[in-house]
Structure 1
Amino acid sequence: MISKNNKALLASKNGNYLISLVMLLLITSCSVDRSNWTGIWQTKIEYITGIQSTFELELSKGMFNSEWSGRWEAAEIMQYGVIPKLKVTNFNIEFDFVDVGKFEGKLLQENILEGIVYGLDGKKDTLRFIKVDDWTSNMPARVNENGLAINNWNYSSPELMDDGWPIVDLRNSNVFQQPLNRLFQNVVDGKYQGLDAALISYNGELILEEYFHLGAQNRIHLINSCTKSVTSLLIGIAHDNELISNINLPIRDYFNNYTDTLNPSNWPVSLKHALTMSAGLTWQENNIPYSNPKNDAIRINFSSDMYRYVLSRKIAKGGQPGEKFEYNSGLSILLGGVLLNSTKMPTDKYAEQSLFMNLGIQQYFWQSVNNQVHTGGGLLLLPRDFLKIGQLVLNNGKWNGQQVVSESWIKESTSFHLPISESKDEGYGYQWWTGHLNVDQTKIPIVYAAGYGGQFLYIVPDLNLVALFLHHNPSDFNLNHTIAFSEMEKFIAPAFLLK
């Protein structure tokens, strides 16, 4: 039984609660509803001249506190992260804009956010975001004209174009189609996310050309560290033309402007050591995530001089150049300096003159950092053009009958030089990976280029086969939903391994 005093106290408490609730409702009715801010916002940014790409951010607010948080993603360039120093007040928003500057914006409508990016370089750009239902990276593999998912995969013959590729219809070949049907049905079913392009050449003819997600026949795609393998071909061409005399000579001979950085007695690194990633330098890359700011492959991109960044590194304690493989993108970047010194032109210009022109490659982009071409991972190519690189290697340096790179360089650069693990089943050549596919208890030799985010160019000489897979999967480190080596063994090779 409640006493009169307790009843009065309870009534007083309830009255205060109601007054507080009314005041809270009045306050929030004069401000922007939290739900107007929360969600995914999308805009277009020109990362590369003439190419618009999506940039998305997701805003959320804690249920029991006033803290706003956010994350961002740029699917096509395979970058993502958290949004630091995020501040939201009524109709206004401020946050640091991904190493570029600061963004200050205003909510114009429930689904439109507009503001200005104040760049670190003093420039200003206006951005307009619209609210969307989901991340671009989560979109279905294929959609129809109404934006609905297409749930069935049906093969279509590659398009005949004036780009040097002869075409053959898979249905008119002796290829076992069932494994391919299963693989690409899995793609549209959503098992493999982020696949942009899948192309296969067989017996020198383009037999499969499929585009999903962000991929398109006429859109160049970032190939990341596959760039290293293209750079190896350029070193080979320069070597063929005697612009590079001996790959066993010290690499310091190509960097005479860096004598203040180099100590010759402590830098016995040869060009071959750089090609095989066996320089033995103090370098952190594969042992820590790329999201870690201490990763040298990330830090070098923010240095004022990429060549100096690598040349200033010492030989690791107890190490010796040539002893073992250790993944090092900095050594690949040094190869660009070697090409610049030996050919007297930037790598992209030399590539255009000595390689791309011979393959009919006209549309490409090669990123630079402070006027140094990024030969460790900055190249973008059309999928059909990138497949030509693989066909060139399969043909021992020939494209359409023309010897572009010497057969001797192709053989040497794609051979096993050093093991990449204790098992010694897989190895490394001159910026190319080597290994074996295990299919029906048969070991099939394979050479391939591999890049961050799921970029793979596989060359299988015994099957006369080249397979290309391009993705935008920066966080799929274990390749759980990326078409890669295991899919080559399970689906691709069995289709072409004739009984």
Structure 2
Amino acid sequence: MKSTLFLVLILFLWYPLQAQDSYFPERNAEWATIKSKRFSYDSQALAKAIAFANENEYSGSKDLRRAILKGFEREPFHEILGPTKKRGGPAGMILKDGYLVTSWGDTRRVDMTFSVTKSFLSTMAGLAFDKGLISNTEDKVGQYVWDGTFDGAHNSKINWEHLLQQNSDWSGELWGIKDWADRPPREGGLDDWKYRELREPGTVMEYNDVRVNVLAYSLTHVWRNPMPKVLKENLMDAIEASTTWRWFGYDHAWTTIDGLKMKSVTGGGHSGAGLFISTEDMARFGLLFQNNGVWNGKRMLSETWIEKATTPSVPNVNYGYMWWLNQKEGNRYWEGVPEHVFYAAGFGGNFIVVDQEKDLVIVTRWLEPNKIGKFVKMVYDSM
């Protein structure tokens, strides 16, 4: 009996100490910095990594409207359909156990974050899964969205996982954009691509914003609420994010649910719109995933969902549920960086890098995209 009481006492004393190991910043507060006695690193090497990030700023125009039109000029009929915003300069944060190791640039400036939005959208599916609004990611989406979006011999086969892993090959038109007009292949003629044979869902990954927006539309109908409202009430308020972030859809992307007209958002800024957010709020989101879905002792996302989201898909080992994975077998492996790392990535060099094992989060913005692997390795080498 005494030994049992002793064990209970030890656990009682131990758990509070463990909780203190991680820091969760309050809303709008100055981020607490890590103390040298808690964590040692090579400050000179880290300074070189930050200098590298600043010296390798994304080469595209700071007028993101121009950068978008230039970046996707190969696409037929491409145009700006939603809001854009001129960007700031390089910025970023590095967190250890939630504490700020270092930062650079204006971390409170709100900028477009492009396809980093996809990882937020995936999380909206995760919240729906955790609440039982989606019973199983292998359920056919047409069971939930029966308005014709998933009709037909091919589209009727598509399940939630196919949309989340971007291997559905959904065929059709959404908000006036044909699926085949989004990122057509460089080889072959457009007509060959337009009339190609569709791939079996789950067999071939294709990065395609039209299909991502189909996921956003489908989740809007499942939640019966706009995605920004769902994100705010179910996540961002809980992690004490600022009030400055916004999530836009295309100007004409309206749907009616329960008699209420609501905007269907985009999963990126390919034609404008998407998530506009600060570096600090991106870091909060990364910190939630670094802590495996727990924020300051409260579970926000299930471990089951995070495991699903960060499991390699069959067609692409570097991709899960709209999170990129640093698997050595794939062609997006970052040499010298642990394989357990996963990250969100967006046009123009926006990244949220998460390492659950080392309790590390790296956010970097407007870094030349092909420099990200070297930058992250420099950060790891400094630690």
* TM-score calculated relative to the size of structure 1: 0.54
Counterpart residue identity of residue 263, structure 1: G
State the match for 1:452 in structure 2.
347
Counterpart residue identity of residue 209, structure 1: S
Q: Does 1:403 find its partner at 2:283?
A: no
Q: Supply the distance in 2 between the matched residues of 1:415 and 1:354 (Cα, whole angstroms).
A: 24
Aligned residue for 2:134, secondary structure, equals: coil
- After superposition, the Cα gap between the structure-2 partners of 1:324 and 1:204, relative to the gap in structure 1 and judged at 3 Å, is same
Cα displacement (A) at 1:272:
1.0
Residues 27-426 of structure 1 mapped to structure 2, 5 A cutoff: 162-163=27-28, 167-169=32-34, 173-187=39-53, 190-193=55-58, 195-211=89-105, 216-258=106-148, 262-264=151-153, 267-281=156-170, 283-288=180-185, 317=197, 319-361=199-241, 362-369=243-250, 370=252, 371=254, 372-377=263-268, 378-420=274-316, 426=317
Aligned residue for 2:103, secondary structure, equals: strand
Q: Supply the distance in 2 between the matched residues of 1:321 and 1:380 (Cα, whole angstroms).
A: 31
Counterpart residue identity of residue 94, structure 2: I
Q: Does 1:438 find its partner at 2:353?
A: no
Q: Supply the distance in 1 between the matched residues of 2:341 and 2:195 (Cα, whole angstroms).
A: 32
Counterpart residue identity of residue 246, structure 2: F
Query: How big is each residue's C-alpha offset from its partner over 1:31-51, in whole Å with a ceiling of 9 and x where there is no partner?
Result: xxxxxxxxxxxxxxxxxxxxx
Structure of greater relative contact order (alpha carbons < 8 Å, 6+ residues apart): 2
- After superposition, the Cα gap between the structure-2 partners of 1:342 and 1:191, relative to the gap in structure 1 and judged at 3 Å, is closer
Q: Percent identity, please.
A: 24
- After superposition, the Cα gap between the structure-2 partners of 1:165 and 1:339, relative to the gap in structure 1 and judged at 3 Å, is farther
Q: Supply the distance in 2 between the matched residues of 1:266 and 1:366 (Cα, whole angstroms).
A: 27
- After superposition, the Cα gap between the structure-2 partners of 1:375 and 1:405, relative to the gap in structure 1 and judged at 3 Å, is farther
Counterpart residue identity of residue 274, structure 1: L
Q: Supply the distance in 1 between the matched residues of 2:26 and 2:232 (Cα, whole angstroms).
A: 21
Q: Supply the distance in 2 between the matched residues of 1:165 and 1:447 (Cα, whole angstroms).
A: 27
Aligned residue for 1:334, secondary structure, equals: helix
- After superposition, the Cα gap between the structure-2 partners of 1:266 and 1:355, relative to the gap in structure 1 and judged at 3 Å, is closer
Q: Supply the distance in 2 between the matched residues of 1:375 and 1:251 (Cα, whole angstroms).
A: 18
CA contact (8 A) 2:53 2:375 kept: no
Counterpart residue identity of residue 340, structure 2: P
- After superposition, the Cα gap between the structure-2 partners of 1:394 and 1:454, relative to the gap in structure 1 and judged at 3 Å, is same
Aligned residue for 2:107, secondary structure, equals: coil
Cα displacement (A) at 1:281:
4.0
CA contact (8 A) 1:266 1:314 kept: no
- After superposition, the Cα gap between the structure-2 partners of 1:464 and 1:287, relative to the gap in structure 1 and judged at 3 Å, is farther
Aligned residue for 1:342, secondary structure, equals: helix
State the match for 2:259 in structure 1.
none
CA contact (8 A) 2:167 2:202 kept: yes
Cα displacement (A) at 1:470:
1.0
- After superposition, the Cα gap between the structure-2 partners of 1:356 and 1:183, relative to the gap in structure 1 and judged at 3 Å, is same
Q: Supply the distance in 2 between the matched residues of 1:438 and 1:265 (Cα, whole angstroms).
A: 39
CA contact (8 A) 1:279 1:315 kept: no
Q: Supply the distance in 2 between the matched residues of 1:391 and 1:397 (Cα, whole angstroms).
A: 9
State the match for 1:11 in structure 2.
none
Cα displacement (A) at 1:392:
0.8
CA contact (8 A) 2:202 2:315 kept: no
Q: Supply the distance in 2 between the matched residues of 1:266 and 1:343 (Cα, whole angstroms).
A: 21
Residues 465-476 of structure 1 mapped to structure 2, 5 A cutoff: 465-471=360-366
Gaps of 5+ in 2: 1-24, 60-88, 172-179, 255-262, 269-273, 328-333
CA contact (8 A) 1:348 1:373 kept: no
Cα displacement (A) at 1:493:
1.2
Aligned residue for 1:239, secondary structure, equals: helix
Q: Supply the distance in 2 between the matched residues of 1:265 and 1:193 (Cα, whole angstroms).
A: 39
Query: How big is each residue's C-alpha offset from its partner over 1:129-184, in whole Å with a ceiling of 9 and x where there is no partner?
Result: xxxxxxxxxxxxxxxxxxxxxxxxxxxxxxx8644775224656401222211123
Q: Supply the distance in 1 between the matched residues of 2:314 and 2:355 (Cα, whole angstroms).
A: 20
- After superposition, the Cα gap between the structure-2 partners of 1:267 and 1:325, relative to the gap in structure 1 and judged at 3 Å, is same
Cα displacement (A) at 1:236:
0.6
- After superposition, the Cα gap between the structure-2 partners of 1:218 and 1:443, relative to the gap in structure 1 and judged at 3 Å, is closer
CA contact (8 A) 1:201 1:208 kept: yes
State the match for 2:358 in structure 1.
463
CA contact (8 A) 1:238 1:244 kept: yes
State the match for 1:6 in structure 2.
none
Counterpart residue identity of residue 365, structure 1: R
Q: Supply the distance in 2 between the matched residues of 1:262 and 1:315 (Cα, whole angstroms).
A: 18
Q: Supply the distance in 2 between the matched residues of 1:161 and 1:238 (Cα, whole angstroms).
A: 26
* TM-score calculated relative to the size of structure 2: 0.69
Aligned residue for 1:387, secondary structure, equals: helix
Q: Segments of 4+ in structure 1 off by > 6 A?
A: none
CA contact (8 A) 1:364 1:380 kept: yes
State the match for 2:70 in structure 1.
none
CA contact (8 A) 2:235 2:300 kept: yes
